[in-house]
Amino acid sequence: MGAVASVLVASVLWGTVGPAQIWADTGMHPVSLGAARMLLGGLVLTVLTVRPTGLRTLWRPGARGWVALSVLVTAAFQVCFLQAVERCGAALATAVAFGTVPVVSGLCARVLSGERPTARWLWGTACAVVGIGLLLLPGSGAQADVLGVVCGVVAGASFGVYIAATKELGARGADLGAAAPVSVLCGGLLVSPFLLVAPDGLAAPRAVALIGWLALGTTALGYLLFTRGVGRLSAATTGTLSLTEPLVATVLGVALLGERPGPLAAAGAALLLGGLALVSVPRRRRAEPEPDPVPAGG
């Protein structure tokens, strides 16, 4: 129960990212906000969790390329997700992003490991594709424009690739406890020049409070809780608990921010979340048939 509670609280914290960005209304450019979040959150995580022995495992010849890829997709996720929230609203942006994740992670598993797609994955992918199509239809009533939905899809795809890169790092003996903080911090450094390009609103009190929450609450604390629990849970259970993130974003977006997507947009978001649930909720195992009794003397 302690592991379940840790992952569940982390998912709740991550679900507040989009609503907090909209509610704060700082006027900061999403790329600048993402850079500040990654720099501060990644720095705190690195100081608290990374050890020299773990860092050395990331520089092994078989791991370096995957570390570089994880840095790139971490930066892409942060930037694109915050852009999607600004254009689509918290509920729809989170639905688009996390409805795309299992599609891309499944494709990566097929390419890298030769895993055959399951029927559940195929149905979940179909739901995600149709859901995104509904959001892009004219007259959907959504706050989103095409670029906002595309940013959400790119964010979800980036996170799916990050999952695949993390698995490859683990298979090569890299310390995953060091890989994530390094990815976040280096991703922040990668996009940090944008802080000089668009510094507007960075020093405002509301912006400082927002950056503090996103960096310390949702990044540092969320990651620490997630890593504490994920090692003691199955992948299926972790996926199910992670459904809390889009659920929290949707509830906060509708209840506190007054987001009211139109019928087509609501149907698209429902399909995205339904597809995510389909591939995440663990299947019940069939009861094993009892062996036939051995005949006497057999």
Q: What is the pLDDT of residues 34-82, one digit of tens each?
A: 999 999 999 999 998 888 998 999 988 889 999 999 999 999 999 999 9
Q: Choose the weakest-confidence range: 61-65, 125-129, 237-241, 263-267.
A: 237-241
The pLDDT value recorded for residue 74 is 93
The pLDDT value recorded for residue 297 is 40
* Nearest CA-CA partner of 50 in 156, 185, 140: 185
Q: Choose the weakest-confidence range: 16-25, 133-142, 181-190, 224-233.
A: 133-142
Give residue 239's pLDDT band: very low, low, confident or very high (50, 70, 90).
low
pLDDT, greater one: 138 or 10: 10
Q: How many CA atoms lie within 13 A of 277 on its CB side?
A: 10
The pLDDT value recorded for residue 296 is 36
Is residue 290 a part of any domain in this protein? no
Is residue 165 a part of any domain in this protein? yes
Give residue 282's pLDDT band: very low, low, confident or very high (50, 70, 90).
low
Q: Nearest 5°: phi and psi at 174? A: -75, 150
Domains identified in the chain, total number:
1
Is residue 296 a part of any domain in this protein? no
Give residue 237's pLDDT band: very low, low, confident or very high (50, 70, 90).
low
Q: Is the pLDDT of residue 105 over 50?
A: yes
Contact between residue 33 and residue 270 where contact means Cβ atoms under 8 Å apart: no
Is residue 68 a part of any domain in this protein? yes
User: pLDDT tens digits, residue range 151-193?
Assistant: 999 998 998 898 888 888 888 888 888 888 999 999 999 999 9
The pLDDT value recorded for residue 240 is 66
DSSP 298: -
Is residue 268 a part of any domain in this protein? yes
CB atoms within 10 A of CB 217: 16
Percent of the chain residues topping a pLDDT of 70: 87
Q: How far apart are CA 258 and CA 23, in angstroms?
A: 11
Is residue 239 a part of any domain in this protein? yes
The pLDDT value recorded for residue 72 is 96
Is residue 295 a part of any domain in this protein? no
Q: Which of 93-97, 179-183, 226-230 has the highest mean predicted lDDT (pLDDT)?
A: 179-183
Is residue 188 a part of any domain in this protein? yes
The pLDDT value recorded for residue 60 is 87
Residues, the chain, total? 298
The parent domain of residue 60 ranges over: 2-280
Q: Could you tell me which residues come within 8 angstroms of residue 114 by beta carbon, excluding any fewer than 6 positions away?
A: none
